[in-house]
Amino acid sequence: MSVDFLALAQPGVQKLSPYVPGKPVDELARELGIDPARIIKLASNENPLGASPKALAAIRDELAELTRYPDGNGFNLKARLAERCGVQANQVTLGNGSNDILELVARAYLAPGLNAVFSEHAFAIYPIVTQAVGADARVAPAKDWGHDLPAMLAAIDSNTRVVFIANPNNPTGTWFGPSALADFLAAVPENVLVVLDEAYIEYGEGAELPNGLNYLADYPNLLVSRTFSKAYGLASLRVGYGVSSPVVADVLNRVRQPFNVNSLALAAACAALDDVEYVAQSRRANEAGMQQLEQGLRLLGLSWIPSKANFLAIDLGREGASVYQGLLREGVIVRPVGGYGMPNHLRVSIGLPGENTRFLEALAKVLARG
Ligand SMILES: Cc1ncc(COP(=O)(O)O)c(C=O)c1O
């Protein structure tokens, strides 16, 4: 009789559904039997500008050392980040993408009998990392698609150890302002770690979208996570970071794999941090692309959720799955979000002007088919 290794997995893992990433261009090219160059991917909130030339040069310089393990402490990158964030290097944790930081938090602070609070329609990794360690998820209802911070506060109980908040959130693009954040932090019990996920902050930071780092000095229970995958254009290299109190950083460091960020990623991230103009250009291109998409959607009579990130969740007013399939047949990959409890929406990442045009034309064509 064969052993059932699914039944032997810990109960939380048995019930897990794996994360579904955006469809890769090559996969669709194989399925459609067409040239990958004819396909556009606006499905994973990547930076359409291509990586910063400075990051590319840093990677080339680093290639000679591929035979060596990376610096397991990421000394240079941590020092640069500490300087940029106005903190000490011992407050920075490096991750294999910011997803790694979220997972380290779950492994260090959650366990069966404990729970994490997050919002309805929140980023899919929160339930995954929570369930993977056998902890419970307490999901607070969203308000107008966004995080309802008072509802999240109300969901906290004596077994809550972590609250995951994305500002802006993916896949909704919704955000909350500085006073909402300040009120929330002041009210959260001191023994609950608030993970403020700012993967998209560089696209929208300003009067309406607060910089979480400004609250660190007052709240030792705050961790701000950020990434080089979006505005810094390095999604493929997998590098992100958390900024927290030194104690929380020390705890995360205990469960971190020793070489979780590779040497090419470390070098590229340092160079990307210095390329201030690239990030500014990414933000400008995103703002222009957002306007272009919004204008096109208006002409199509569609509405969308206002967004401060590099994507829009479009309300099709009908089931999105068939429109997604229709777009695939046009060589346009976007993201269905039915799994987020948003069956009538499709999420589209802001692309280059030509890509946005192609998307809008393909969408018009698919919708016209009925
Ligand atoms: C809200 C949010 N947080 C975190 C991440 C993780 O990004 P990465 O692991 O590439 O840093 C993403 C990626 O899409 C995201 O949307």
Q: Would you say the CB of residue 99 lies under 6 angstroms from ligand 1? A: yes
- Nearest CA residue ID for atom 12, ligand 1: 199
Which residues neighbour 219 within 8 Å (Cβ) at sequence distance 6 or greater?
185, 194
**d(Cα 158, Cα 160) in Å, to the nearest integer?**
6
pLDDT of residue 21: 87
Identify whether the C-beta of residue 46 lies closer than 8 Å to the C-beta of residue 348. no
Residue 344: what pLDDT? Answer: 97
Ordered per-residue pLDDT tens for the chain, 370 residues: 799 999 999 999 998 988 888 899 999 999 989 889 999 999 999 999 999 999 999 999 999 999 999 999 999 999 999 999 999 999 999 999 999 999 999 999 999 999 999 999 999 999 999 999 999 999 999 999 999 999 999 999 999 999 999 999 999 999 999 999 999 999 999 999 999 999 999 999 998 999 999 999 999 999 999 999 999 999 999 999 999 999 999 999 999 999 999 999 999 999 999 999 999 999 999 999 999 999 999 999 999 999 999 999 999 999 999 999 999 999 999 999 999 999 999 999 999 999 999 999 999 999 998 7
Ligand 1 pocket member 167 (CB < 6 A): no
- DSSP string of 273-296? HH-HHHHHHHHHHHHHHHHHHHHH
- CA 166 to ligand 1: nearest atom: 1
pLDDT at residue 70, as a whole number:
98
Q: Which domains does the chain have, with CATH numbers?
A: 8-50+277-369 (3.90.1150.10), 53-275 (3.40.640.10)
Q: Is 170 in the pocket of ligand 1 (CB under 6 A)?
A: yes
Q: Is the CB of 45 under 6 A from ligand 1?
A: yes
pLDDT value at position 369?
87
pLDDT at 187: 98
Nearest CA to ligand 1 atom 16: 170
pLDDT at 226: 98
197-221 tens-digit pLDDT: 999 999 999 989 999 999 999 999 9
- Residue-wise pLDDT tens digits, 231-271: 999 999 999 999 999 999 999 999 999 999 999 999 999 99
Return d(Cα 22, Cα 45) in angstroms, integer.
9
The answer to whether the predicted template modeling score (pTM) of the entire model surpasses 0.85 is yes
Closest ligand 1 atom to Cα of 99: 9
Give the C-alpha distances (Å, rounded to integers) separating 212 from 27, 73, 166, 180. 38, 24, 11, 12
| CA gyration radius, the chain | 21
